[in-house]
Amino acid sequence: MKKLGIIALALFIQQVSAQTNRFVYQVTMKPDAENKTDIKTENAYLDISPEKSVFYSENRIKRDSIMQKAFQGGGGRGNINRDQMESLRTNINYTVEKDKTNQKTYFKDRIGRDLYSYEEDRPLVWKISSETTKIGEYKVQKAETDFAGRKWTAWFTTDLPYQDGPYKFGGLPGLVVKAEDDKGDYSFDLMKNYKVAEFPTLNQFGNTLKVKRMDFVKQQQKFKSDPMSFMTQGTGGISAPMRIGGGRGPGGGGNENPADMRKRMEERVKEEAKKNTNPIELQ
């Protein structure tokens, strides 16, 4: 019995140590360059394990859960509460994954129908200050960096055994508790943390295309300038018809006129583009 007790304790310790640590950040954004009073605020998760970390929107995982339940129930999109989905819209459509073993950072974001993934090729160079303060319960130290056209100030703590942070921030001798650019357009503030059993599965609709960062930027610009032409093109520029309307699957639109649906989609994409003229990365 004593041996069984020791084995059970060992298994319990192993299970606890294998758990993922979730850090919840409040992300504040001013995505519209023409209207800085339009402030968007939402929560994002930084899930950390010994092997990797993933940063993504809280609303995204909630939307994914609603859609998955609807399709599992056999009703498809018809079972989805559109008002609820609208309340969970996110400005953080991307995910950032950091590979601890290889010290590499991967960025994933959707352009049109497909998911694009690239390896970040710009290392973060920090200037660490001797200045310290306290944020919440943590003693933090100041660090600064220039990245992607913005000057960032971060406050990190060594009170927690992690060298990581929200978005692409990392490489400091501690966990980033707060990060803000000098214009006050974007900020990340640690709110709380707790353990979860494992990383959630994020729905990956469409193809996943691995590209270089500059290729991603070019494709993003093409989409913004002419979204509908972009979406009717297949991978590599090969023409492929986009499914609009018809059927009951994820691309189904019931009996809606395809031309009307196409026009509505184009107007929505252009409207969203107008409201996202102040991206987190300016270069």
The per-residue pLDDT for range 203-249, each reduced to its tens digit, is: 767 789 999 999 999 999 988 888 777 777 755 443 333 333 333 34
Name the stretches of the chain with pLDDT < 50. 2-17, 236-254
Which DSSP letter does residue 184 get? S
Give the 3-state secondary structure percentages of the chain, helix then strand then coil, rounded to 5.
Answer: 30, 35, 40
Report the C-alpha gap between 67 and 203 in whole angstroms. 9
Are 67 and 75 in contact, with CB atoms under 8 Å apart?
Answer: no
The per-residue pLDDT for range 172-211, each reduced to its tens digit, is: 999 999 999 999 999 999 999 999 998 887 776 778 999 9
Are 56 and 43 in contact, with CB atoms under 8 Å apart?
Answer: no
